[in-house]
Amino acid sequence: MSGLKGKKMREVDITRGIVEKHARDFYEILESDVVIVGAGPSGLVAGGYLAEAGRKVTVLEKKLAPGGGIWGGGMGYKYVITQDEARHVLEDFKIEFERVDTDLLAVDAIGLASGLISEAVKRGVRIFNLITVEDLMVSDGRVRGVVINNTFALMNNFPVDPLTIEAKAVVDATGHSHDIVRTLSEKNDVQLDTLTGKPMGERSLFAETAEKAVVTNTREVYPGLWVCGMSTAAVYGGYRMGPIFGGMLLSGKKLSGLLLDFLNESR
């Protein structure tokens, strides 16, 4: 005998519950304080701190699973490294770690990815997966939101029109591909806040320099559009760093502070 009691289970009630709750959540984020594109470590950290401060934060991930490049660790080995300098971010997000030496910490990649996702959601971040940002809303010299579509529709080249989300600030946290900054630059005659006015391209691996640069170059690259994490390397000509994530975590923390200042000033 089954231990389940109560009224008969109806498949339509299961579907109704999913549709109603998704529609409610989606409707509520159509006007957001911040839209972060890409649910990797820097985007999740930034979103978590912003939501904790009471801001309406939406994170859009084009793939099935949030977490970005954390899951695979280093070449499939399930640990990543962070600097001790980023330890406070790990502690804030309740991520366990082990010390490698005085300066480096080892973090289980699965624990890091799942922990960042879980804590961001608990703090109020709305994460939507399988949504691709295909364009931006741009007017009067400013990014004012994102143009979104179903990832599967775009993968199959279906002629499906997109929807939009308005935001006071949009963040490119898409990593190496820097999809959002690249789209803005290619589709509009604009000057970015870079030495060339365009994305400068990512350089080869040089961990120490890369880790510092990813934090330094976390900033507003065009009015209303910000960059963090590995997107900064592609936009500002920085180096890649491999499976060390301290800079990514610190980039997200820095971005949250910059955006809180911006949002408070724009009231």
Terminal Cα distance for the chain, rounded: 60
pTM score: 0.97
- Residue whose pair of structure tokens reads 């109560």 in the numeric block: 6
Q: Is 96 helix (H, G, I), strand (E, B) or coil?
A: coil
Give residue 6's pLDDT.
75
CA trace torsion 69, 193, 256, 94 (10° rounding): 20
What confidence tens digit (pLDDT) does each residue in 99-122 have? 999 999 999 999 999 999 999 999
Domain region containing 24 = 16-265
Residue 208 domain flag: yes
Residue 3 domain flag: no
Q: Are 37 and 134 in contact (CB under 8 A)?
A: no
What span, in angstroms and rounded, lies between the C-alpha atoms of 114 and 66? 9
Residue 9 domain flag: no
Residue 34 domain flag: yes
Residue 193 domain flag: yes
Residue 10 domain flag: no
Beta strands in the chain (DSSP E): 31-37, 57-61, 79-83, 98-99, 104-108, 126-129, 131-139, 142-150, 163-172, 203-205, 219-222, 225-227, 239-240
Where does the pLDDT of residue 262 fall: very low under 50, low under 70, confident under 90, or very high at 90 and above? very high
What confidence tens digit (pLDDT) does each residue in 35-82 have? 999 999 999 999 999 999 999 999 999 999 999 999 999 999 999 999
Residue 7 domain flag: no
Q: Which whole number is the average pLDDT over 158-182? A: 98
Where does the pLDDT of residue 267 fall: very low under 50, low under 70, confident under 90, or very high at 90 and above? low
Domain at 251, CATH number: 3.50.50.60
What span, in angstroms and rounded, lies between the C-alpha atoms of 108 and 123? 22
Give residue 1's pLDDT.
46
The CA–CA distances, whole Å, from 264 to 29, 49, 56, 260 equal 19, 15, 13, 6
Give residue 203's pLDDT.
98
Residue 86 domain flag: yes
What span, in angstroms and rounded, lies between the C-alpha atoms of 263 and 164? 21
Q: How many domains does the chain have?
A: 1
Q: Which amino acid is at 7?
A: K
